[in-house]
């Protein structure tokens, strides 16, 4: 397991909590719009942050740090992620995990072990043939669906989220996504950012206007009670 980034304090990555964010290198997806390309495409070359130093900082500042967000890349592709989460637990902080949903068995094991307080799962587009384009790789939709089921039936706090990239996510895709997460606790629509992307051609793609995102949010509210837009 390689820690490629560490944000010591953030109010953005876990609503309502003061958190740290740990970024683990490597990902099984190549989403064309990914803004963490340096730890996804060139994971081996990414800078390494010392794990012991991260734990020491969190322990030293546990008086004001409420939780730790473990993100990536895709953190659940790391086989020893459980060991790391146990270290976080030993410090006494809450743990949130960001995931793309392709490792449902690992997700289920970690939730069952009581190592996760919140899951944020990305859903890239409609759960059909469009998904591979948005993920930039071959996907197994049965695993995505299994992860959705695990999250929604786990009793763990959760949110699902989608980055509204114009070429991959349209209003019909939002409806398809939300039909599959009907009754979820939260759904977040993220504004697309074109500043740093894996696919350079997306740098000239204009993000949706806020009015379009609002229309998407209204569709989502037919299925999920708590819907918000982020990044506008």
Tens-of-pLDDT digits for all 232 residues of the chain? 899 999 999 888 898 899 999 999 999 999 999 988 788 877 776 778 999 999 999 999 988 999 999 999 999 999 999 999 999 999 999 999 999 999 999 999 999 999 999 999 999 999 999 999 999 999 999 999 999 999 999 999 999 999 999 999 999 999 999 999 999 999 999 999 998 889 989 989 999 999 999 999 999 999 999 999 999 8
Q: Looking at the chain, how many residues does it have?
A: 232
Domains belonging to the chain, first-starting first, are 3-230 (3.20.20.70)
Structure-derived torsion over alpha carbons of residues 125, 131, 135, 138, reported in degrees to the nearest 10:
170
Residue 73: is the preceding peptide bond cis (ω within 30°)? Answer: yes
Closest CA to 60 of 8, 105, 97, 117: 8
């Amino acid at each position: 397991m390689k820690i490629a980034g560490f944000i010591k304090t953030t109010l953005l990555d876990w609503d309502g909590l003061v958190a740290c964010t740990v970024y683990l290198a490597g990902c099984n997806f190549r989403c064309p719009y990914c803004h963490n390309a340096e730890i996804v495409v060139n994971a081996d070359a990414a800078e390494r942050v010392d794990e012991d130093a991260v734990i020491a900082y969190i322990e030293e500042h546990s008086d004001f740090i409420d939780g730790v967000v473990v993100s990536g890349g895709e953190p659940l592709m790391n086989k020893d992620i459980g060991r790391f989460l146990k270290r976080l637990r030993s410090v006494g902080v809450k743990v949130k995990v960001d995931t793309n949903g392709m490792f449902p068995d690992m997700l289920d094991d970690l939730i069952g072990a009581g190592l996760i307080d919140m899951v944020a799962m990305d859903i890239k587009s409609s759960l059909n043939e469009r998904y591979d384009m948005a993920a930039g790789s071959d996907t197994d939709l049965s695993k995505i669906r299994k992860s959705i089921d695990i999250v929604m039936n786990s009793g763990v706090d959760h949110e699902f989220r989608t980055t509204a990239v114009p070429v991959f996510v349209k209003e019909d895709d939002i409806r398809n996504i939300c039909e599959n997460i009907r009754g979820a606790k939260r759904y977040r629509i993220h504004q697309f950012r074109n500043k740093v992307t894996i696919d350079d051609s997306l740098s000239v793609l204009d993000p949706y206007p806020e009015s379009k995102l609002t229309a998407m949010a209204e569709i989502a509210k037919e299925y999920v009670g708590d819907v918000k837009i982020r990044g506008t």
